[in-house]
Amino acid sequence: MPAATRRIGVPGAGEVTAIVSPPAGDAGWTLLYAPGAGSNVHDPFGAHLCDALAARGVTAVRFQFPYMEARRRAPDRTPVLLATWRAMIGEFGAPRAKLCAGGRSMGGRIASMAVADGARIDALALFAYPLHPPGRPEQRRTEHLPAIRCRTLFVSGANDAFASPAEIADAAALAPRARVHLIDSADHGFAAPKASGRTRGDVYAEATDALVRFLRLPRT
């Protein structure tokens, strides 16, 4: 069955596009994924992740924020980003399925803020969490992490300018039920230098497998 495009209303901000990848079976999970600040619903990693999890029986949903829907460059203000996440959780949360929320970079950070603020989910997946702006380690975005009570997975590249391996480990330690998976050679965009011998596809596959193991899904 092909993926289905949905339009989801965000209070005060119009509608946003969501793409739902139907599951091949029933693993008992729904995944919600939001892209980073410069990407949209067609984010390549998000598409790869959702397709891979749908093949394992997960209902996988990727979406974009209102500013991308309007083709604006500047991200929406934080309240609008949070409202988008809450709308998605409200739309796709199901009584019979466990819900994993997450995303890459800003998409994951806003998900973590929504969860810290009380959004009810079962697991959180943070890919390339933007711990601080590059070169500004003093500006850490960690104040909300101790309020996250669900199981949390940080997947970060070892060469990520937004968070070194030591920094991401320290940040994850603030969330009571968090673990970290480091991807060798990968940067913030999940690319690896040619000298590493790793392709972007290799990095995508490792990041996906980390979530598959975290959710205890069947391996294919």
pLDDT tens-place string over residues 70-105: 999 999 999 999 999 999 999 998 777 899 999 999
Q: Does some domain include residue 128? A: yes
How high does pLDDT run on average in the chain? 95
Flag whether pLDDT at 179 surpasses 80. yes
pLDDT of residue 157: 97
Report the alpha-carbon distance of residue 3 to residue 167 in Å, rounded: 37
pLDDT of residue 13: 96
Report the CATH number at residue 105: 3.40.50.1820
**Span 150-170, pLDDT tens digits:** 999 999 999 999 999 999 999
Flag whether pLDDT at 203 surpasses 90. yes
pLDDT of residue 12: 93
Per-residue pLDDT band for 2 (boundaries 50, 70, 90) equals: confident
Q: Does some domain include residue 113? A: yes
Burial of 129-164, coded b for 16+ CB within 10 Å and e otherwise, reads bbbbeeeeeeebbbebbeebebbbbbbbbebbebbb
Q: Does some domain include residue 166? A: yes
Mean pLDDT, residues 12-33 taken together? 95
pLDDT of residue 142: 96
Flag whether pLDDT at 220 surpasses 70. no
Domain count, the chain: 1
Mean pLDDT, residues 191-217 taken together? 95
**Which structural domain range is residue 131 located in?**
4-214
Q: How many residues does the chain have?
A: 220
